């Protein structure tokens, strides 16, 4: 039976359950180490949650194909939406496992609803309260992800990236600067999401940040906004390639996935490029394997319709 | 052996097994030498190719992350993957701000990571078409402002 993904802004219990699950995954160590992931420094155990951080960075640094730098295995190309859907689903399955709740559905952050508020009220959303995800700080000082140096079980960032985008070890609290970025002072609005859902085709040549397409619009390259805008608006650890370090990463992407679901309900479950596309698009064709780390691989084709696994409480984006 | 279905319920054992299997295939190599970007477009039946070579340094230390340039000239960088910049110089300034520990001991920067000190940094791609955006400072104006302090 499909689980229902709830609106985090309207379901405080679901948001709290999500935060509890994140902290459980942060403290689960199944065997992988920094050494096995070739992260420099002494060998340390890597938590299940931190494997998602590593997976995102690895996909980011995997050029598809390898002889160009315009598309990687998860971004700036057609697989942006399928790959993140795959990642979200793996997190959801693992949260169900550690929460012992097969009905748990990943909550989404309807950031466009907050984007409808006046600028000075956007950062006052309940999402950033002590009962939500906590607020800003370096490190964050309120909520379920507060860093306590002497408490090894408290939330902490153990793996991030350096200025060259390479994985490295660290041991610190979570950084956030909600709404403090002067160049990106506001969240996307409902007009932005409506314009995205109205955009066709799904993707188009040149299949990168220059494409005039739904994928490129919702990813936030043309015009700049949407998913990218949310990352920058939250700031702190949402800026580098290790952005899954901030649990809001998954709430952002769950909403991006919801926008994609709304688009597919309007335009059909279509995806391009198909498998006849040239090798220059390898990694982005409909039956190419998506970059995987903690599970069996999948393909864009296999994730186009997951309504037997999860549905959203609303696709009014 | 773990199930081959991505929808199979994970277990601690399956996670460990898949990481053991998949991690060796991950290639996380930094760029070596100059970074070449290629822009291509078609115009009036002609095929345009623009190759640009970047060799970025801060205090003599190379910056080796992946760089891409869009056809409208915006510079993107995988180390800060949700931003694009008016120039590579603006990109490097932002790196110094966000990763002060990578540049410690040289210059006067540091300590602004993820906080208000990042405000108003030059050159990040503006919010064209956004109703609520504030005017973007140009790189030159921001640089001049910092120098005057």
The stretch B108-132 carries a mean pLDDT of 39
Q: How big is chain A by its Cα radius of gyration, in Å?
A: 18
Please give the Cα distance from A273 to A277 (Å, whole number): 6
What's the confidence (pLDDT) of residue A66? Answer: 86
Average pLDDT, chain A: 97
Q: Taking 70 as the threshold, does the pLDDT of residue B12 lie above it?
A: yes
Which residues in chain A (50-69) have CB-CB distances under 8 A to chain B? 51, 57-58, 60-63, 66, 68-69
Nearest to A184 by CA among A228, A223, A215, A154: A228
Query: From A164, which residue of chain B is nearest by alpha-carbon distance?
Result: B65
C-alpha torsion A83→A86→A87→A88, nearest 10: 120
CB A239 within 8 A of CB B83: yes
The Cα–Cα gap between A74 and A291 comes to 8
Going by C-beta distance under 8 Å and a sequence separation of 6 or more, which residues neighbour residue B133? A184, A185, A186, B126, B127
Question: What is residue A126's predicted lDDT score, i.e. its pLDDT?
Answer: 95
Give the whole-number percent of chain B exceeding pLDDT 70: 63
User: B61-105 pLDDT, tens per residue?
Assistant: 999 888 989 888 999 999 999 999 999 999 999 999 999 999 987
What is the interface pTM, i.e. ipTM, of the complex?
A: 0.95
Q: What is the pLDDT of residue B34?
A: 79
Long-range contact pairs involving B129-138 (C-beta distance under 8 Å, separation at least 24): B129/A223, B129/A225, B130/A186, B130/A192, B130/A225, B131/A189, B131/A191, B132/A119, B132/A185, B132/A186, B132/A189, B133/A184, B133/A185, B133/A186, B134/A182, B134/A183, B134/A185, B136/A183
Q: What is the rounded average pLDDT of the residues A281-302?
A: 97
- SS3 label, residue A121: helix
Instruction: Judge whether residue B129 has pLDDT over 80.
Output: no
Q: Is the model's pLDDT at B119 over the cut of 70?
A: no
pLDDT band at B30 (very low <50, low <70, confident <90, very high): low
For residue B3, pLDDT over 80 is answered with no
Cα first-last separation, chain A? 24
Beta carbons within 8 Å of B120's beta carbon, 6+ residues apart = A182, A183, B137, B142
Interface test with chain B among A74, A163, A186, A236, by most B beta carbons within 10 Å? A163
Better pLDDT: A158 or B105: A158
For the domain bounded by A3-312, which CATH number is listed?
Answer: 1.10.1280.10
Domains of chain A, residue spans: 3-312
Q: Which residue in the set A183, A206, A243 is minimally distant from B136, CB to CB?
A: A183
What pLDDT is stored for residue B31 in this prediction? 64
Q: Is residue A117 less than 8 Å (CB to CB) from chain B? A: no
Query: What is the structure's pLDDT at B109?
Result: 54
Distance CA A156, CA A174 (A): 6
Residue in A38, A93, A240 closest to B79 by CB: A240
Question: In this structure, is the dihedral angle defined by the CA atoms of residues A167, A76, B25 and B1, taken in order, positive or negative?
Answer: positive
Q: Decide which of A20 and B61 is more confident.
A: A20
Going from the C-alpha of B60 to that of each of A4, A43, B46, B78, B106, the distances in angstroms are: 53, 31, 40, 21, 10
Q: Are β-strands B80-85 and B75-77 bridged in parallel, bridged antiparallel, or unpaired?
A: antiparallel
């Amino acid at each position: 039976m499909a689980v229902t993904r709830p609106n985090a802004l309207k379901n405080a219990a679901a948001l709290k359950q999500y935060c509890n699950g994140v902290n459980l995954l942060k403290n689960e160590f199944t065997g992988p180490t920094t050494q096995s992931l070739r992260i420099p420094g002494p060998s340390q155990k890597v938590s299940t949650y931190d494997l998602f951080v590593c997976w995102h960075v690895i996909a980011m640094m995997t050029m598809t194909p390898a002889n160009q730098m315009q598309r990687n295995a998860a971004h700036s190309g057609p697989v942006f939406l399928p790959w993140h859907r795959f990642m979200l689903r793996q997190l959801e399955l693992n949260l169900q496992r550690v929460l012992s709740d097969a009905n748990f559905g990943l909550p989404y952050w309807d950031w466009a609803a907050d984007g409808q508020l006046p600028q000075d009220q956007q950062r006052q959303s309940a999402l950033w309260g002590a009962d939500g995800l906590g607020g800003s700080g370096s490190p964050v000082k309120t909520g379920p992800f507060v860093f306590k140096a002497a408490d090894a079980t408290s939330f902490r960032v153990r793996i991030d990236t350096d200025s060259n985008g390479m994985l490295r070890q660290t041991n610190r609290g979570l950084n956030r600067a909600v709404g403090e970025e002067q160049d990106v002072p506001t969240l996307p609005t409902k007009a932005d999401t409506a314009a995205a859902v109205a955009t066709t085709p799904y993707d188009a040549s040149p299949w990168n940040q220059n494409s005039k397409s739904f994928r490129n619009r919702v990813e936030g390259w043309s015009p700049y906004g949407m998913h990218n805008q949310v990352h920058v608006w939250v700031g702190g650890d949402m800026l580098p390639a290790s952005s899954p370090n901030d649990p809001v990463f998954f709430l952002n992407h769950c909403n991006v996935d919801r926008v994609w679901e709304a688009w597919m309900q309007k335009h059909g479950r279509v995806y391009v490029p198909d498998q006849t596309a040239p090798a220059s698009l390898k990694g982005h064709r409909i039956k190419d394997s998506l970059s995987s780390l903690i599970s069996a691989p999948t393909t864009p084709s296999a994730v186009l319709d997951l309504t037997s696994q999860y549905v959203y409480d609303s696709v009014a984006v | 052996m773990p199930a081959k279905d991505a929808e199979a319920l994970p277990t601690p054992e399956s996670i460990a097994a898949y990481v053991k299997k998949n991690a060796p295939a991950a290639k996380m190599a930094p760029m070596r030498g100059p970074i070449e970007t290629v822009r291509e477009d078609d115009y009036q039946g002609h095929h345009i190719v623009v190759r640009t070579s970047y060799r970025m340094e801060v205090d003599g230390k190379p910056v080796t992350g992946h760089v891409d340039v869009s056809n409208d000239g915006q510079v993107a960088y995988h180390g800060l993957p949700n931003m694009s910049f008016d120039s590579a110089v603006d990109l490097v300034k932002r790196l110094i701000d966000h990763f002060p520990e990578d540049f410690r001991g040289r210059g006067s920067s540091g300590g602004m990571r993820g906080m208000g000190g990042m405000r108003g940094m030059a050159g990040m791609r503006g919010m064209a078409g956004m109703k609520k955006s504030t005017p973007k400072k140009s790189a030159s104006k921001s640089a001049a402002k910092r120098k005057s302090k």
